[in-house]
């Protein structure tokens, strides 16, 4: 992508997201106070500090900046083709998106400065947090009422930034702020000592999986007759960017919309418009499942979102009685997301996610790598693997996702990425459900695996999974 595009995206991120204080986050309990001060650049004698202090032993994750400063273009690297190898984790964490305050159960603002308590017990060693995360927040599920939520905050010197009842988690989800700069890993260990807290996780950051970019060749490659394709009245949730619902390809397609980050202005609508169009577009840019009803949750801006926002979108999707949830994004492993996905699957929803565009040596991408989620990688018109696709045992299925024409916020565009391969699979599954509404999520998953066209090494492999989607064979498979 041209330099102007990078500058434009950086400007969008800078205008859209409010970053946390530039305080180094370390999860290494073995660091001395001087080393921590050096990470935070608070020592008077800067020359005494060693360069290259490490960030607590966490694994390298997408979006970590190189060097001692945060560079905005690094935050959107997953939106560009051929992303470079991930650098060693840097002392500071990237500036996060500003998570919207939930309207379900708004928490009162802090009445004054929060005084960090002393002598707090650690129920476990400080956690080494991998991946990109909001550096001054944690997400906690709490057993108890609003009083218990506030008592925990007071005891640990935290701020209640939002709280709501989560349908998919089955409990109260609280977003606590850390006002004094304590590392997230330390606060998670401190929270574990309070028996009222059930799950404690970082507020991880997730990235849309679009590689930059003819006639849609997907129909032919997945053995679907475009004249017979139909997802009529199948309800599909898409969690993505905002969309251009005036695009002719989406006329009559969008059945409902939800904004999970209402306090963040919408700047870009391309990615979400393309995903919705590939699934169920109409007219000249017909999707894989025409007639399907899209329930679209906007949860990304500038290519980024947080765990808190995504969970809000997932809860809304579950309330729409959808059969399929499309998640064309990737981030670190997070137990809250894993629980939400597991419970959505238990409710009978088919979960489809992008495997990731971060290269053969990238860590597993989530939510794709969770059990019960169909992880989709991208292939081209000749069934070749997209070079920048993630690899791993979690990859389940291959589908077209390289240089396809799709609707966008500017009309139409040529798109590439596992995001769009996931959309093709979601549309194909809608065809299966339209033809056999009683088919369960387990039955659909087994049919896709059993009938996929084997690519690469014989059998399931880390590059192509079970192979290329064959929707005709899957529809004919015996249950």
Looking at residue 310, its pLDDT comes to 98
CA angle 236, 242, 246 (to 5 degrees): 85
Q: What percent of the chain has pLDDT over 90?
A: 68
Distance CA 363, CA 373 (A): 17
- The overall average pLDDT reported for the chain is 81
Interval 346-355 mean pLDDT: 98
Reported as a single tens digit per residue, the pLDDT across 254-266 is 999 999 999 999 9
Looking at residue 102, its pLDDT comes to 39
Reported as a single tens digit per residue, the pLDDT across 45-73 is 344 554 433 333 333 333 333 333 332 22
Distance CA 192, CA 194 (A): 5
Q: What percent of the chain has pLDDT over 70?
A: 73
pLDDT at 83 over 60: no
Domains of the chain: 3-207 (no CATH), 209-476 (3.40.50.200)
Looking at residue 48, its pLDDT comes to 52
Helix axis angle for 335-346 and 307-319, nearest 10°, is 10
HEC profile of 79-141:
HCCCCCCCCCCCCCCCCCCCCCCCCCECCCCCCCCCCCCCCCCCCCCCCCCCCCEEEEEEEEE
Reported as a single tens digit per residue, the pLDDT across 363-375 is 999 999 999 999 9
Looking at residue 240, its pLDDT comes to 97
Interval 271-299 mean pLDDT: 96
Looking at residue 77, its pLDDT comes to 29
Provide the sign of the torsion angle of the four alpha carbons 210, 215, 221, 226, taken in this order.
positive
Reported as a single tens digit per residue, the pLDDT across 222-232 is 999 999 999 99
* Least confident range of 122-126, 243-247, 368-372, 458-462: 122-126
Helix (H, G, I), strand (E, B), or coil: what is residue 29?
A: coil
* Least confident range of 31-45, 132-146, 157-171, 287-301: 31-45
Looking at residue 478, its pLDDT comes to 64
Distance CA 431, CA 408 (A): 23
Radius of gyration of the chain (CA): 22
Looking at residue 141, its pLDDT comes to 97
Looking at residue 113, its pLDDT comes to 56
Give the burial class of 282: count Cβ atoms within 10 A of its Cβ; 0-12 exposed, 13-18 middle, 19 or more buried: middle
Reported as a single tens digit per residue, the pLDDT across 111-145 is 445 566 666 777 778 888 999 999 999 999 999 89
Reported as a single tens digit per residue, the pLDDT across 12-34 is 434 444 333 333 333 444 445 45
Which comes out higher in pLDDT, residue 215 or 13?
215
Please state, in angstroms and as integers, the Cα–Cα distance from residue 29 to each residue in 32, 176, 179, 217, following that order.
Answer: 8, 22, 20, 53
Distance CA 434, CA 439 (A): 10
- This model's pTM is above 0.85: no
């Amino acid at each position: 992508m041209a330099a102007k595009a990078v500058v434009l995206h950086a400007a969008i991120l800078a205008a859209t997201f409010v970053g946390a204080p530039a305080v180094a986050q370390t999860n290494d309990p073995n660091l001395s106070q001087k080393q921590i001060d050096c990470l935070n650049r608070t020592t008077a004698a800067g020359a005494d500090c060693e360069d290259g202090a490490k960030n607590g032993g966490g694994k390298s994750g997408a979006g970590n900046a190189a060097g001692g400063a945060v560079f905005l273009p690094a935050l959107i690297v997953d939106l560009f083709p051929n992303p470079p190898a991930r650098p060693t984790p840097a002392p500071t964490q990237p500036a996060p998106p500003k998570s919207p305050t939930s309207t379900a159960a708004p928490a009162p603002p802090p009445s004054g400065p929060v005084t960090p308590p002393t002598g707090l017990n650690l129920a476990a060693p400080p956690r080494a947090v991998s991946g990109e995360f909001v550096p001054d927040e944690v997400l906690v599920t709490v057993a108890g009422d609003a009083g218990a939520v506030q008592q925990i905050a007071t005891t640990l010197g935290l701020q209640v930034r939002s709280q709501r009842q989560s349908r998919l988690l089955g409990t109260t989800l609280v977003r606590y702020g850390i006002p004094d700069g304590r590392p997230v890993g330390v606060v998670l260990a401190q929270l574990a000592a309070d028996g009222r807290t059930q799950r404690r996780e970082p507020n991880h950051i997730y990235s849309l999986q679009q590689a930059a970019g003819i006639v849609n060749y997907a129909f032919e490659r997945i053995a679907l007759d475009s004249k017979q394709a139909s997802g009529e009245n199948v309800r599909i949730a898409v969690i993505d960017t905002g969309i251009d619902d005036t695009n002719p390809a989406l006329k009559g397609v969008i059945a409902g919309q939800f904004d999970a980050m209402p306090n963040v202005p919408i700047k870009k609508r391309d990615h979400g418009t393309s995903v919705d169009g590939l699934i169920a577009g109409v007219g000249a840019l017909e999707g894989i499942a025409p007639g399907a009803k899209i329930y679209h949750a906007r949860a990304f801006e500038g290519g980024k979102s947080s765990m808190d926002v995504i969970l809000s979108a997932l809860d809304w999707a579950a309330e729409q009685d959808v059969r399929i949830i499309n998640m064309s994004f990737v981030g670190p492993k997070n137990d809250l997301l894993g629980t939400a996905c597991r419970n959505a699957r238990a409710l009978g929803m088919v979960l489809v996610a992008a495997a990731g565009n971060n290269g053969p040596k990238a860590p597993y991408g989530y939510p794709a790598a969770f059990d019960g989620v169909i992880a989709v990688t991208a292939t081209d018109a000749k069934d070749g693997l997209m070079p920048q696709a993630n690899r791993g045992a979690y990859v389940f299925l291959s589908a077209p996702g390289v240089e396809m024409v799709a609707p966008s916020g500017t009309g139409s565009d040529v798109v590439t990425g596992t995001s769009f391969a996931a959309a093709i699979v979601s549309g194909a599954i809608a065809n299966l459900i339209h033809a056999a509404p009683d088919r369960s999520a387990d039955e659909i998953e087994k049919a896709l695996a059993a009938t996929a066209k084997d690519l690469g090494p014989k059998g399931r492999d880390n590059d192509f999974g079970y192979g290329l989607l064959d929707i005709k064979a899957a529809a004919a498979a015996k249950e």
